[in-house]
A and B are shown apart, each in its own frame.
Chain A
Amino acid sequence: MKLFPLIGALALVARTAPAQGPATLTPRDSALHALNRLAYGPRPGEVERVAGMGVLNWIDAQLQPDRIPDPVLAAKERAFPLLRMSRQDLADAYTAAQRARRARLADSMSRTAASPADPDPAAMTPEVRQARRLAGELQEVAVVRAALSERQLEEVMVDFWTNHFNVSLTKGADRFLLPDYVEHVIRPHALGKFRDLLIATARSPAMMFYLDNWESVAPGSEPPRGGGRRGAGGKARPQGINENYARELLELHTLGVDGGYTQDDVINVARVLTGWGITPPRQGADFAYRDWAHDRGAKVVMGVPYPAGGGEDEGRSLLSWLASQHATMHHVSRQLCARFVADDPPDGCVDDAVAAWERSDGDIREILRAIFHGPDFWAPANLNNKVKTPLEFLVSAVRAVSADPDSTPRLAQVVARLGEPLYQHVAPDGYPERQDDWVTSGALLARMNAAVAIAAGRLPGVTVDLDSVVPPAPDPDTLLDRINARVLGGAMSAHTRSVIRDELADLRDPAARRSFAVGLALGGPDFQKQ
């Protein structure tokens, strides 16, 4: 059994990628490219290791993360209590924080001269502090996993899907729903079937709350007696449908904005999904189908009839149908290619991905395999043509010097200062993939500062041992050789080399010289690209 995927992969390589595959690149270059795209950059020595085992073998291994042992990360994860909290634990923390906030606000009358520097009187209750701590842990654990996991592609895909199916920490109860969402909705399906992932997100309390589907009820519907007059947010009972989720489902999650649907389709999708809701946070914020809220009338979505009298299952069949539409395959495949190949991906790799989607019934692993084995992935024009996002930049820098992150939220705060506060993108489209959205003058200066700090061992949240990465060198040329090979994976340009060499001339202290050079290398233009 275990041999089948490998054999299948080799057959696929033979069919789609032989002539223009990695064969045109040196083994080192192709290893570096794969590590830049399927992983958060190489750690010292990793380019050689991947080149040695064969880059396609490494890619196939990354596509089977369950078979990759990851003891270092497993040990690190024990420092994050969040990962041991159930959804009920999180819901309890949420209700406690809400109660504390209200009590504190009520108490604030007596403290009218609140210092303007601390404008939020609810800021400092223990419950609110705990809520902040949990949000910080959630962000930090994402950065730590990206930095340390051996299952790099899985982490990249969790980040990709978390953005594709974006839910924002900034929206009320989602602060408490997100850990479960990332852990139990996104992660298990990150390399699974797209259909399963789509349905899991649709039914997740986090998405249900974020895009308001829990508030969408058939017009005129009434909860049964004793069903309560107030909804999960403590607000007045909702009236009528809410199109928010339906629209984003079509526009962002599946078909794409040009996917051929009309406003009537949006309304009918919303009607199909009426009744899909959540229990209040104090009862665990679980998925709940409320039959009384479901619109039992007949509907048509893009020509597909949903006869009168249907119930909860209408939503499932709608989502399955959406997952198999050509527009969906094309829209999502294009986004995958934008992530892995180029901001504006060539049509060829998108077509390969769509073909794999059709062959495999939307198996994400097979779609990715087709992209990684296609000629566009390895085309010289697509090497180092993408600017790293702030997360990719910081994590790749951490990996480049084998820095060891701690369990405080400080590293995630650096990512936030670089412009990408994790899980806090407000709009449902998620963080962008294009360089235009990340490259600004202030952002580049911030990256330079972070690079200098990490090389000097001053970046908060990590410890760095440069001796183990770049051993002391007797002269600048040897030092630069070592930095190029060990830190930049061999990607240092001649220009970078000559500028750093000039700058080292007036530095005498070997340690200062080394950290200055590493800081310039990580903060310089070569390292902004992947």
Chain B
Amino acid sequence: MVSRRVFVKSGGLALVSFGLDPLFLARAAFASPAPGHAPSGPILVCLFQRGAVDGLNMIVPHGDRIYYEERPRIAVPATDVIDLDGYFGLHPSLAPLKPLWDDKTLAVIHAAGSPDSSRSHFDAQDYMETGTPGSKTTPDGWLNRYCQHDREHADTPFHAVAFGPELPRILAGSAPALAIDDLQAFGLRAAGAGARDKVTRAFEALYQGGSTGLVASSSQEGFEAVRMLSGIDPASYTPANGASYPAGKLGRSLKEIAQLIKADLGLRVAFADVTGWDTHVNQGASEGQLAARLTDFAGSLAAFMRDLGDRRGDVVLLTMSEFGRTIRENGSSGTDHGHATAMLVLGGAVNGGKVLGRWPGLDPAQRFEGRDVAVTTDFRDLFGEVLARHLGAANLPAVFPGFAPDQARFPGAIRA
């Protein structure tokens, strides 16, 4: 199979100058990517909680008296926590996720994070997206590097999609990736279907014979994507199984991801992000600021899994956040920048119903720099496991340069 990323990586300008269109070859190499015909297969959805979510109030160690001692004003009372295993429990706003825990399609990895000690949102998000903690000059993101080295899956314009106005760091790089702000508006805009078809046809003709190299292949991918989307009519999508997405941006992003998955357009990796987790002041306990964000978060995730129905078996959704927050509440009834946090994995392939990873405890002697939850799962071990065991990634060292992923350190998020 020849694809553009082979082409980009191995000096395929020669290929183009011989008149071979890599997209054409890719298309010829496997089944027609018309809607409903692209091969399905494993899909990874990454969700970034930007701003550093408070892992301790999301997945609450309600069995630990230190938690209550350190957070007299913002601890979630044990009576409100939805117990998971006697020690950890869900914040009450995460109630919509409890059925997923019960049917073992939700696992929690607690005390996960970066080996780098930075408490800067800016640096830590960058490290988590490039997959190279401590190095600021990595040019591409780890999800893009996965795509660069993915030899296992067919290449379509929808192989890698980020929901937002521009490509995030995590998908930046030489493998093609789409940034879609609004699925319904993707493509050329014009008043009415006739005018839209005309302007699309005209531009396609302009680019088909009038461009070479990357501009030619990328524009063809774009027109191909537009054609594929026009077959599925995103405007008239109705979620399945009575799923109801919350009205915010996250709900919309996940709904559009579900549409793409069900349309069988060849989606392999998707990315969305959600903000509002930087709770320095009055973050609240069972109710309040963080609770409101968690309500939107859990409602969106639960609707997504419900909407997917049978396709849950193909999909793993992985949440991440740049770091966690201080164990002790601060003087403003909030929390400051900490170290480890909790990450979630959802989906049919997930080794669910468990809190995974080694829990370091809240005891002052076990803390990172004397104040924060220590990181016991390097985020690369978790991400690497999901890539290897769910997507079948064969070359993890290329995805996480400078890091030697070791199966023995995988937290066990994916069922063997």
Contact = CB atoms under 8 A, between A and B. Distances in A.
Interface of A: 102, 105-106, 108-109, 112-117, 119-121, 168, 170-172, 212, 244, 247-248, 251-252, 257, 387, 416-417, 419, 421, 426-429, 432, 435-437, 439-445, 448-449, 452-453, 493, 495-496, 499-500, 502-503, 516, 519-520, 523-526, 528-529
Given A419-B167, A524-B203, A441 B137 contact: no
A106 B157 CA distance: 45
A445 B288 contact: no
Contact of A117 (B180, B201, B214, B247): B247
Contacts of A114: 289, 292
Contacts of B291: 112
A525 B215 contact: yes
Contacts of A102: 280-281, 332
Interface in B198-212: 198-199, 201-203, 205-207, 209-211
B122 to A, nearest CB: 5
12 contacts: A171-B120, A172-B122, A387-B215, A427-B169, A441-B219, A444-B218, A445-B226, A500-B202, A519-B199, A523-B206, A526-B210, A528-B215
A292 B281 CA distance: 33
A529 B211 CA distance: 10
A429 B165 contact: no
B222 A441 contact: yes
Contacts of A427: 126, 136-137, 169
B368 interface: no
Interface stretch (B63-71, B170-178, B375-383, B385-393): B170-178
Contacts of B247: 115-117
B218 A440 contact: yes
Contacts of B157: 441
B157 to A, nearest CB: 6
Given A106-B281, A442-B178, A520-B199, 20 more contacts: A102-B281, A105-B281, A112-B288, A116-B250, A116-B295, A117-B248, A117-B249, A121-B289, A170-B122, A427-B136, A427-B169, A437-B172, A439-B215, A439-B218, A441-B220, A445-B226, A452-B199, A496-B210, A524-B206, A524-B210
B282 interface: yes
Interface centre among A442, A444, A452 (most CB of B within 10 A): A442
Given A436-B8, A520-B206, A441 B178 contact: yes
A426 B122 contact: yes
A120 B275 contact: yes
Contacts of B292: 112-114, 116
B82 interface: no
Interface string B149-183: 00000000100000001110100101011111100
Interface residues of B, number: 72
A5 to B, nearest CB: 38
A251 B139 CA distance: 13
Contacts of A113: 292
A440 B210 contact: no
B280 A105 contact: yes
Contact of A525 (B8, B199, B207): B207
B210 A449 contact: no
B251 A116 contact: yes
Interface centre among A116, A168, A426 (most CB of B within 10 A): A116
Contacts of A445: 186-188, 222, 226
A248 B167 CA distance: 24
A167 to B, nearest CB: 12
Contact of B203 (A437, A453, A520): A520
Contacts of A428: 136-137
B229 to A, nearest CB: 11
A404 B371 CA distance: 56
A106 to B, nearest CB: 5
A135 to B, nearest CB: 16
A248 B123 CA distance: 14
B246 interface: yes
Interface of B: 8, 120, 122, 125-126, 136-137, 139, 157, 165-167, 169, 172, 174, 176-181, 186-190, 198-199, 201-203, 205-207, 209-211, 214-216, 218-222, 224-226, 246-251, 274-276, 280-282, 284, 287-289, 291-293, 295-296, 332-334
Nearest to B299: A116
B166 A441 contact: no
A112 B292 CA distance: 6
A119 to B, nearest CB: 4
Contacts of A120: 275-276
B373 to A, nearest CB: 19
Nearest to A519: B199
Nearest to A458: B189
Nearest to A494: B210
Contacts of A108: 281-282, 289
Nearest to B337: A235
Contacts of B276: 119-120
B177 A440 contact: yes
Nearest to B125: A426
Contacts of B201: 503
A119 B126 CA distance: 22
A170 B122 CA distance: 8
Contacts of B181: 417
A106 B332 contact: yes
A441 B221 contact: yes
Interface centre among A108, A432, A435 (most CB of B within 10 A): A108
A116 B211 contact: no
Given A436-B214, A441-B178, A109 B222 contact: no
A387 B218 CA distance: 13
Question: Which 3 pairs, one residue from A and one from B, show the smallest C-beta to C-beta distance?
Answer: A116-B248, A441-B222, A525-B211
Contacts of B250: 116
Nearest to B130: A427
B344 to A, nearest CB: 19
A495 B208 CA distance: 10
Given A429-B137, A440-B176, A493 B210 contact: yes
B121 to A, nearest CB: 9
A377 B332 CA distance: 60
Contacts of B289: 105, 108-109, 112, 114, 121
Contacts of B224: 441
B226 to A, nearest CB: 7
Nearest to B187: A445
A452 B293 contact: no
Nearest to B165: A417
Contacts of A119: 248-249, 274-276, 293, 296
Nearest to B129: A426
Contacts of A421: 166
Contacts of B179: 419, 440, 442
A499 B202 contact: yes
B227 to A, nearest CB: 12
A170 B50 CA distance: 13
Contacts of A452: 188-190, 199
